[in-house]
Chain A
Amino acid sequence: MSSAELNHAQTSAPLPPHPEKATLEGRNKILGIWLLIGAETVLFACLFGTYLALKGSNMNGPTTEELFQIPMVAAATLILLTSSLTSVLGVVGMHQKNVKKVMLWFGITVLLGAAFLGLEIYEFIEYVHEGHTFTGSAFGSAFYTLIGTHGSHVLFGITWITCLMIQVARRGLTLETTPKLFVASLYWHFVDVVWVFIFTVVYLMGKVG
């Protein structure tokens, strides 16, 4: 960050049109999150591969067809996809330098994320009751690891966005907070995209065959 940019950050001069890309720090952050998303994609690809290799090994436990209930999972999917949309609206609000709008839409995003997590936990409890456990079979281990890893990403995402909302509430939209918000929303989209793949590969394909 050159000194001119820094002064800009410290005095509250009006923000430039794309505040998240105005500083070198901001640009580095955005590039960094894209790289992180690349690495995470590989991580999830490995977990998907493991799941596909082991999904037949249910060892007398319930099979995917018996287990999965599409309506509930579809509802969860819808919730998460909507939260992606609301986070976009939050970023739009950020570009309009509208703190209220940012807080509103990111707040809704967090709530939807929490609702999704709640559904997932409920789903897990049901499965365990049906005899589909983490330690019961290789299928169980692979299933809970894949979905659980995604769930922990959701949890991390809502915590992160909540923290950023607190910072925005305290300091407003600055050259420091805007890249953070932008980056968190990118991460959030990634988490959603992973879910779309989980929905297709795990649930729909599990139902079909």
Chain B
Amino acid sequence: MATLVVLLVFALFIVAILTGGYNKQMISRFRSHWLWEWLTTVDHKKIGILYAIGGGFFFIFGGIEALLMRIQLFFPDNQFIVGRDFNELLSMHGTTMIFFVAMPLLFALMNVAVPLQIGARDVAFPFLNALGFWLFLAGGLLMNLGWLFGGAPDSGWTNYVPIALNQYSPGSGIDYYVLGLQIAGFGTTMGGLNFLATIINMRAPGMGFLRMPLFTWTSFVASALILFGFPPLTAGLFLVMFDRLFGAQFFEVALGGNPVIWQHLFWIFGHPEVYIVVLPAFGVMSDVISNFARKRLFGYTSMVFATLLIGFLGFMVWAHHMFTVGMGPMVNSIFAIATMAIAVPTGIKVFNWMFTMWGGKITYSTAMLYAVGFIPTFVLGGVTGIMLALPPADFQYHDSYFVVAHFHYVLIGGTVFGILSGLYYWWPKMFGYKLNETLGKWNFWVFFIGFHLTFLIQHFIGLFGMPRRYFTYQEEDGITLFNQISTVGAVMMGVGALLFVANIVVSYRNRTSLVAGNDPWDGRTLEWAISSPPPVFNFAQLPQVRSLDCWWHEKMEGNKEMEPAEPLDHIHMPNDTPLPIIMSLGFFISGLGLVFRAFEVGVLGLVVVVVTMFVRSFKPDHGYHIEVEEIKATKKGA
């Protein structure tokens, strides 16, 4: 069955190449379809939307997994989903939410906002940008195929060995994890590299580093964390893959292997990953709060340095996830103190946000509600983080529901609130119309209250002795009511998420009455100076940036638009290309082949990748020009 599927996919691919390559009619029919434009796009705004759709798609999976787990935990000794099945749910929930929801949604916001905020026409590597997206999608789909064929991963999102080795996890679950993450990880690394290069090289004239909006800054630091944080994961995944597929002995104790190596590699990646997903959310909050308080960000410079410091310290603290591994009191103490140190820059941020609002004129739009709801939530997640940093105390908290509560406070209270805030904030820039504010407020309150209902209580479930990743508990444990409250909260969060979906549908239907115009929020940063959605080239003339919050500055000077830094001239843009999606398909086929131990298929997939790389290198692609008349026409239309 499995081999058949692989062969079928491959046969389809061959057919696609043959017919597509030789049948001009078919090609032109493909090309005229609206979908083709989306499949081949290299425009960062479109890729941002694609990332949002992809992340939203996987969010449905991750959310359903979470709800199923909470239903199982509603009663003690419940028999709804137990044992390995529950382990599959928890592993896929964690992996999906981190890699296939949080990261792509943040990439969505980064793609939409960063080039506009720095006054660029595109990202530095549009091709890599598209490739990054398609690789993420290929990896995510590959991993979720486990539900259909051969079982999903069942060793947690941390995938500790030896439980993830063949002996203890037979079947293909972990192979899906290893290969899916590897492919998605390549994509993410490319994304990080791309944004670093974009922000360093492509800022508009006058946009010095200390004039960049904070979202750009946090994206910049997060991208650096991606660039240096993902290779350890890549290395670790290779080791697990070699152990599982090719009989290597990295983690086999009997042959001299050492399972703790995986834990180190994973957390050297894993801790920066936490900051990768939370820093851009900090950035969104900073921009949103300053926008809706109508005030300049309080302590901008210290915010920037706090971000850099958090990014730097993020690499120094990974072993605090491993206090119970038995590394000795010296190592534990050092990592404890390094971890506590992160509280300082984070504290700076929290106070700066509050003092940005101090003396401001706060408008509570939905975006602002999420930003405001974020502050107390994140503070609670932060203080439990400090509590977790004390090794002797951590011996009690570690791997209990206290930890589960802590990281959901940080990841939902930080990242998800940040993403939702960002989506409400930039939705008009992405699509030209706002989301419905009434539904938005419902969405916020239901989601917010449901969230606290679910997770506040989980601190206590952990303190009352329930370890994480348990599919059940006994009545004697005396934590039934607590678990039931948590489940009710989870259902409420589900309703909250549905309200967001409803809002998207309703707002789309009423989009004519929600038309946003260039600057719906009385914004401060550069993206609000151009039309919504922006033309493909973003800026007809690159703007001259004259201060921090440059668009606000121009408005205060009484200007209606940014001062151009160059004469109106024709603009050169890159061509759309189907190569990224083909290359990702190659990776996907290769991954699928390796999962099913069909090594020929694995190699064939890589051949597809290499061939596309050759085509990309040898076929010159000069892009195209947009003439002055056309630019002028777009300008008038907007």
- Which chain A residues lie closer than 8 Å to B238 at the CB level? 145
Residues of A at under 8 Å CB distance from B? 1-3, 6, 9-10, 24, 27-28, 31-32, 35-36, 38-40, 42-43, 46-47, 49-50, 53-54, 56-59, 134-142, 145, 163-164, 166-167, 171, 176, 180
- B79 close to A (CB within 8 Å): no
Sample (25) of A-B pairs whose CB atoms are under 8 Å apart? A10-B622, A28-B124, A39-B228, A39-B231, A43-B234, A43-B235, A46-B268, A49-B261, A50-B239, A54-B256, A57-B255, A57-B256, A59-B256, A134-B248, A135-B248, A137-B249, A137-B255, A137-B256, A138-B252, A138-B256, A140-B249, A141-B239, A145-B250, A163-B618, A167-B618
In contact, A176 and B620 (Cβ under 8 angstroms)? yes
B125 and A141 contacting across the interface, CB-CB below 8 Å: no
Among A1, A9, A46, the residue within 8 A (CB) of B231 is: A46
B246 adjacent to A42 (CB under 8 Å): no
Indicate if the CB atoms of A145 and B256 lie closer than 8 Å: no
| A27 CB → nearest B CB, Å | 6
The distance in angstroms between the C-alpha atoms of A209 and B265, with both chains bound, is 26
Which size class do B's interface residues fall under? Answer: 35 or more
Seed contacts A54-B261, A167-B618; 6 additional CB < 8 Å A-B pairs: A3-B572, A10-B622, A39-B189, A57-B255, A59-B256, A145-B239
B202, B261, B571, B614: most-surrounded residue (chain A CB, <10 A): B261
- Interchain CB contact under 8 A, B625 and A3: yes
A10 vs B247: C-alpha distance when bound (angstroms): 52
- Residue numbers in B under 8 Å from A39 (CB-CB): 189, 193, 227-228, 230-231
Known: A35-B196, A137-B256. A46 touches B236 (CB 8 A): yes
Given A31-B200, A32-B125, A167-B618, the answer on whether A134 and B247 have CB atoms closer than 8 Å is yes
Classify the secondary structure of A's interface with B.
helix
- B570 contacts the other chain (CB 8 A): yes
The answer to whether the Cβ of B201 comes within 8 Å of any Cβ in the partner chain is yes
Contacts of A167 in B (CB 8 A): 617-618
Bound-state Cα–Cα, A136 to B249, Å: 7
Complex interface residues of chain B between 206 and 237 (CB less than 8 A to chain A): 227-228, 230-232, 234-236
Contact B231 A43 (CB under 8 A): yes
Give the distance to chain A from B594, nearest Cβ to Cβ, in Å.
16
User: Are A24 and B258 interface neighbours, CB within 8 A?
Assistant: no
Residues of A within 8 A of B247 (CB): 134-135
Q: How far, in whole Å, are A58 and B238 apart by their CA atoms in the complex? A: 20
Closest to A46 in B: B235
Instruction: Let me know if B248 and A141 touch, CB within 8 A.
Output: yes
Q: Which residues of A contact B261 (CB under 8 A)?
A: 49-50, 53-54
Within the complex, what minimum Cβ distance (angstroms) separates B161 from chain A?
A: 12
Chain B residues in 8 Å Cβ range of A35:
193, 196-197, 227
Q: Quote the shortest CB–CB distance from B234 to chain A (angstroms).
A: 6
| A46 engages B258 (CB within 8 Å) | no
Which 6 pairs across A and B sit closest by C-beta, in order of nearness? Answer: A57-B256, A141-B248, A46-B235, A138-B256, A43-B231, A42-B231
B178-196 residues with Cβ-Cβ distance < 8 A to A are: 189, 193, 196
The answer to the question of B257 belonging to the interface, with a C-beta cut-off of 8 Å to chain A, is: yes
Contact A141 B189 (CB under 8 A): no
Which A residues lie within 8 Å of B268 (CB)?
46
Is A32 a contact of B197 with CB atoms below 8 Å?
yes
CB distance from B355 to the nearest CB of A (A): 35
Contact pick for A141, options B200, B232, B242, CB 8 Å: B242
The CB with the most chain A CB atoms within 10 A, among B234, B236, B250, is that of B250
Query: Do residues A57 and B569 form an inter-chain contact, with CB atoms below 8 A?
Result: no
| Candidate in B227, B249, B614 with the most chain A CB atoms within 10 angstroms | B249
> For B189, what are the chain A residues with a Cβ–Cβ distance below 8 Å?
39
B620 — which chain A residues lie within 8 A by C-beta?
171, 176
Cβ contacts under 8 Å, B232 to chain A? 42-43, 46
- Asked if B255 and A138 sit within 8 Å, CB to CB, the answer is yes
Q: How distant is the Cα of A180 from the Cα of B246 in the complex, in angstroms?
A: 35
Using A28-B124, A47-B235 as known contacts, say yes or no to A163 and B249 having CB atoms under 8 A apart: no
The distance in angstroms between the C-alpha atoms of A120 and B249, with both chains bound, is 22
Q: Inside 8 A of B246's CB, which chain A residues have their CB?
A: 134-135
A145 touches B196 (CB 8 A): no
**Given A39-B230, A134-B246, are A32 and B239 neighbors across the interface (CB < 8 Å)?**
no
Closest to A174 in B: B620
Q: Who on chain B is nearest to A176 by CB?
A: B620
Q: Which of B250, B256, B261 has the most CB of A within 10 A?
A: B256
